[in-house]
């Protein structure tokens, strides 16, 4: 309750001292000193009485008490002066409490940080416990890290497929005593211009399966990706599949390299 009051309420930190009671104690002490001076020193100038009462100077009261305590007949006077001294001590206690409040007020920022620390620790602990229950026990969905890891793994499979088709060496010549059937080169086809390599129909089908798996991750967990990254990923996958125009194997590798550089989650921690 005290943490909530300090952080979120309008009252903030409660003062240790009662400032109204302090003012009342000071006024009462001034009146008691003035009344005692009027009765004990009737010939004292009025300005001096006002000065002593406003300064709450009890030096004369201390001196008179030392003299009066020697005589049993002046016991009532001693009691009165003792009550004035007690009022003075009460005033000093209030002053000490007010000074403590001012010191705490000057360190208000440090006090607020100290008050926030348990609340922050509690929020982090509750969040981690909830994630553990949500993802480990109920298995309703995957965490952000697991989704990112699945997406990176699929892109890695795509890169492996394309790297193996990027300008591979020609197949070895058939052995003279073996079969004379020419080697199968269906996994690579060549464009008519410039000799650029593109994926064969079988490899392109495998690529489209991987791209479909990436799109499934984006469609099933769109809240795990910011809107701009989600839009850019969709465009990159479309370019990788050749939906924006024919692409060579080298261009596909460049697209994957661009995705790895651009998106922070593509870099495993």
Q: State the sign of the Cα–Cα–Cα–Cα dihedral 200, 206, 211, 216.
A: positive
Across the chain, which distance is largest between two alpha carbons, in Å?
143
**Higher per-residue confidence, 194 vs 31:** 31
Question: For residues 84 and 58, is the Cβ–Cβ distance under 8 A?
Answer: yes
The pLDDT value recorded for residue 154 is: 92
Beta-sheet strands, E only, within 93-218: 188-190, 197-199
Backbone angles phi and psi of 236, in degrees to 5: -65, -40
**Higher per-residue confidence, 200 vs 153:** 153
Question: For residues 258 and 228, is the Cβ–Cβ distance under 8 A?
Answer: no
Task: Give the model confidence (pLDDT) of 173-206 as tens digits.
Answer: 665 655 555 544 444 444 434 456 888 888 889 9
What is the reported pTM? 0.43
| Share of residues in the chain with pLDDT > 70 (%) | 75
Mean pLDDT score, 30-55: 87
The pLDDT value recorded for residue 210 is: 93
* Backbone dihedral region for residue 193 (phi beyond 0: left; psi -120 to 50: alpha; all else: beta): beta
pLDDT bracket for residue 214 (50, 70, 90): very high
pLDDT bracket for residue 58 (50, 70, 90): confident
Task: Give the model confidence (pLDDT) of 224-262 as tens digits.
Answer: 888 999 999 999 999 999 888 888 888 999 999 999 998
What are the DSSP calls for 82-113, one per residue? HHHHHHHHHHHHHHHHHHHHHHHHHTHHHHHH
What length is written for the chain? 269
Distance CA(64)–CA(236), nearest Å, equals 97
């Amino acid at each position: 309750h005290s943490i909530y009051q300090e952080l979120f309420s309008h009252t903030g930190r409660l003062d240790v001292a009662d400032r109204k009671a302090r003012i009342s104690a000071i006024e009462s002490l001034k009146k008691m000193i003035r009344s005692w001076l009027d009765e004990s020193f009737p010939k004292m100038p009025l300005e001096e009485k006002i000065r002593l009462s406003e300064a709450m100077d009890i030096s004369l009261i201390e001196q008179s008490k030392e003299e009066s305590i020697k005589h049993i007949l002046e016991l009532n006077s001693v009691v009165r002066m003792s009550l004035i001294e007690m009022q003075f001590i009460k005033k000093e206690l209030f002053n000490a409490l007010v000074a403590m409040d001012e010191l705490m007020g000057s360190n208000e920022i440090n006090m607020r940080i100290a008050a926030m620390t348990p609340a922050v620790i509690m929020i982090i602990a509750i969040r981690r416990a909830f994630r553990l229950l949500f993802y480990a026990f109920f298995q309703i969905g995957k965490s952000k890290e697991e989704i990112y890891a699945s997406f990176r793994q699929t892109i890695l499979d795509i890169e492996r497929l394309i790297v193996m088709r990027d300008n591979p060496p020609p197949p070895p010549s058939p052995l003279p005593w073996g079969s004379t059937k020419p080697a199968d080169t269906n996994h690579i086809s060549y464009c008519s211009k410039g000799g650029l390599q593109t994926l064969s129909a079988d490899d392109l089908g495998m690529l489209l399966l991987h791209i479909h798996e990436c799109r499934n991750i984006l469609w099933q967990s769109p809240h795990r990706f910011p809107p701009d990254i989600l839009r850019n990923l969709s465009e990159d996958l479309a370019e990788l599949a050749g939906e924006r125009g024919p692409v060579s194997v080298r261009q596909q590798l460049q697209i994957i390299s661009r995705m790895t550089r651009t998106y922070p989650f593509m870099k495993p921690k």
